Amino acid sequence: QSALTQPPSASGSPGQSVTISCTGTSSDIGGYDYVSWYQQHPGKAPKVIIYDVSERPSGVPDRFSGSKSGNTASLTVSGLQAEDEADYYCVSFAGSKNWIFGGGTKLTVL
Amino acid sequence: EVQLVESGGGLVQPGGSLRLSCAASGLTFTSYWMTWVRQAPGKGLEWVANIKYDGSEKNYVDSVKGRFTISRDNAKNSLYLQMSSLRAEDTAVYYCANLNNWSFENWGQGTLVTVSS
């Protein structure tokens, strides 16, 4: 199964909003509401910031939000802050207890 | 505080074997599916395998089927990944994580596996 498709890079100025897309198929994103997003800073382990398409774990700022339409999921970061600069990965359940990641998006805060 | 601590990584020759371990604390280990995720140097994340809370079900990405075996010892709160017939493309940092709410909730710091002659 091919990785989910994410843009390699995204950027925005402090205070702005940026949206990162994650495109799959009807066998993964389109078939299940089990999309999650992860933030990874250099040299660190990933951290979940969105699960079940749009739910935020406790402690994650409400500046992070998720949505899904058809085979595409999206992560929006509002009110960009310097510490949001990181790599972001989407993941979807793909049936048969398998999981598929996106290729990752490097977010730069200008 | 949940802690997942991986160990067992290192340098291994192509065709060789290695066993990774993940020691869990701060969570009810027997309540969670556990998973291994890897990240090749400078690359993205890839799901490798997962195992049901009682070990009765195991799933693998196609590229490791028949070569890797995931297991767990609930009495020791530990997760394992036995890797054999290793290839250069298996070189990566291997993370363990618990599955909760259909997401990878907590992650370890990772252990580096390098396959090279």
pLDDT tens-digit readout, B19-62: 999 999 999 999 999 999 999 999 999 999 999 999 999 999 99
Disruptive mutation site among B103, B104, B107, B109 for chain A (greatest number of A CBs within 10 Å): B103
What integer best gives the mean pLDDT of chain B? 97
Closest approach of B75 to chain A, Cα-based (Å):
24
> Tens of pLDDT along A64-110?
999 999 999 999 999 999 999 999 999 999 988 799 999 999 999 99
Cβ neighbours for A101, distance < 8 A, ≥ 6 positions apart: A3, A4, A89, A90, A91, B37, B44, B45, B46, B47
Q: How far is CA B52 from the centre of its chain?
A: 13
**Between A and B, how many CB-CB pairs are < 8 A?**
59
Tell me whether residues B102 and A102 touch, CB distance under 8 A.
Answer: no
Q: Read off the pLDDT of residues B50-100 as tens digits, 9 standing for 90 and up.
A: 999 999 999 999 999 999 999 999 999 999 999 999 999 999 999 999 999
Residue A1 above 80 pLDDT?
no
Please choose, from the candidates A90, A89, A47, the residue with its C-alpha nearest in 3D space to the C-alpha of residue A68: A90
CB contact under 8 A, B44 and A100: no
Confidence (pLDDT) at A95: 87
* Residue among A3, A48, A97 minimizing CB distance to B104: A48
The whole-number pLDDT of residue B20 equals 98
pLDDT in tens, A44-70: 999 999 999 999 999 999 999 999 999
Confidence of residue A25 (pLDDT cuts 50, 70, 90): very high
A54 backbone φψ class: left, alpha, beta (φ>0; ψ -120 to 50): alpha
Instruction: Name every chain B residue with its beta carbon within 8 A of the beta carbon of A102.
Output: 44
